[in-house]
Amino acid sequence: MTVFEASTRPGETPPADAVAPRDSSADAPTSVARLNATIRDFVARWNTVWVEGEITSWNVRAGNIFARLKDTRSDAQISIRIWSSVRPRIPGDLGVGDHVVAAVKADYFVKAGDFSFAVSAMKHVGLGDQLEKLEKLRIQLRQEGLFDPSRKKRLPFLPHVIGLITGERSDAEKDVHRNAELRWPQVRFRTEYAAVQGDRCVPETLAALARLDADPEVDVIVIARGGGDPQTLLGFSDERLVRAVAAARTPVVSAIGHENDHPLLDDVADLRASTPTDAAKRVVPDVSEQRAVIAQLRSRATSRLTQRLSHDIAQLEQLRSRPALRSPDPIIDSRAQELWLLQARGRDSISRQLDGAGRATSELRASLRALSPAATLARGYAIAHLEGGVILRDAADAPAGSALTITVDRGSIAARSEGEIDEASTPASD
């Protein structure tokens, strides 16, 4: 504390530092330093108070934070200072727009005459209750199986059209477009803009998701937003949005915030990307990598084919080097003599068989002729037939008057029986 001592003589005007503010007058004013010191000493006796408000400015200088806190129901504001020694004890995601409560103590800066409040503690308003509700919802959705890896859909290798849900003219949109086009220049997007925080976040995101999911050309949907404090990311943990993403027919990629941000959308989405940039890298392949893979496959195929051809050529040369293929004429010549001998033996064998068969046929023909009735008729014999062609063998079978047919060597004659002739009266033949 600065001590001001009076050094006056009787009848002289005291110096300004020697005049207390309450004793000042036009003839004996107090000094600015004395006034500021008095105000500081007065303010220093105030106790720490907890105050609620909205952060309207947030500037970091030399490790300290200089900010302003606005009343939530009026335009009243205060200046606050957060020294570097206090920053480790407050949330690291605080920023403009956050609704907070802070433990502040009045502080008057004598040198500049500035009045502000030093912050010793600060936290989000109501975030603890919201986080508790989110954890309960997380447990419920997990029990329902919405986080089960088996229900997650696989992303296409190369999507024809990528659906993108993000804030209009946002850094997330630029990151996704730039990185995806760097990896695959021909990639196409269908972008649906939606509020990424606040009361409009959930309904606009739901409407955008429905439009993209109904588009048959869209192969994958990316929901992207830059980083933010947990309060601003609450919309992406809304139960309506989470269930809509789970029910979507098109694969959905969650690219919300940074690596440490973890809304419920990350758990139910078919793929979680740590950042919008990471989403772009995981949704489309890298054309240079794919070209390298193709070149490698071509090289392997060429190598395999070359090896196979070399192996087959070596085998063919080995076969051609064998005597049978290298000089086949001696083998053919040696076999030609053997073939000629076999042909001669075959002709002789067939001739002998034909001659034997001819003699046997002649003998059979002679035997057949000897047994033939025609041969008997040729020697002067005749055959008598009764009516109906029955050969007459017994004279008793041709009584007198029976019609007969007599067959001789050349032709047949008709005759009629005179009856059986008695053998005793028959003249003997010479």
What percentage of the chain reaches a pLDDT higher than 70?
91
The two structure tokens encoding residue 188: 């196409």
Rounded CA separation 201/235 (Å): 6
The two structure tokens encoding residue 277: 């940039």
Q: Give 54-95 pLDDT, tens digit per residue.
A: 888 899 998 899 999 988 888 889 999 999 999 888 887 788
Q: Give 167-214 pLDDT, tens digit per residue.
A: 998 999 999 999 999 999 999 999 999 998 888 999 999 999 999 999
Rounded CA separation 84/79 (Å): 16
Q: Which of 51-55, 279-283, 393-397 has the lowest mean pLDDT?
A: 393-397
Quote the pTM value: 0.48
Q: Which comes out higher in pLDDT, residue 259 or 293?
A: 293
The two structure tokens encoding residue 123: 């936290």
Residue 266: phi and psi, rounded to 5, are -60, -35
Residue 73: phi and psi, rounded to 5, are -120, -5
For all residues of the chain together, what is the average pLDDT? 85
Q: What is the DSSP pairing of strand 218-225 with strand 412-416?
A: unpaired
Q: Which comes out higher in pLDDT, residue 342 or 427?
A: 342
Q: What is the structure's pLDDT at 109?
A: 80
Rounded CA separation 276/174 (Å): 9
Q: What is the structure's pLDDT at 303?
A: 93
Rounded CA separation 81/4 (Å): 29
Rounded CA separation 24/35 (Å): 10
Interval 338-342 mean pLDDT: 87
Strand extents, DSSP E, 286-388: 383-385
Interval 46-51 mean pLDDT: 87
Interval 304-320 mean pLDDT: 90
Q: Give 1-41 pLDDT, tens digit per residue.
A: 555 555 555 556 667 666 777 777 777 787 778 777 888 88
Q: Give 212-223 pLDDT, tens digit per residue.
A: 999 999 999 999
Is pLDDT of 164 > 60?
A: yes
What percentage of the chain reaches a pLDDT higher than 90?
37
Q: What is the structure's pLDDT at 430?
A: 47
Instruction: Name residue 243's amino acid.
Output: R
Interval 371-398 mean pLDDT: 80
Closest CA to 194 of 244, 135, 267, 134: 244
Q: How many CA atoms lie within 13 A of 140 on its CB side?
A: 10
For the chain, give the longest Cα–Cα distance: 226
Query: Cβ neighbours of residue 116 under 8 Å, at least 6 residues apart?
Result: 78, 79, 80, 81, 107, 109
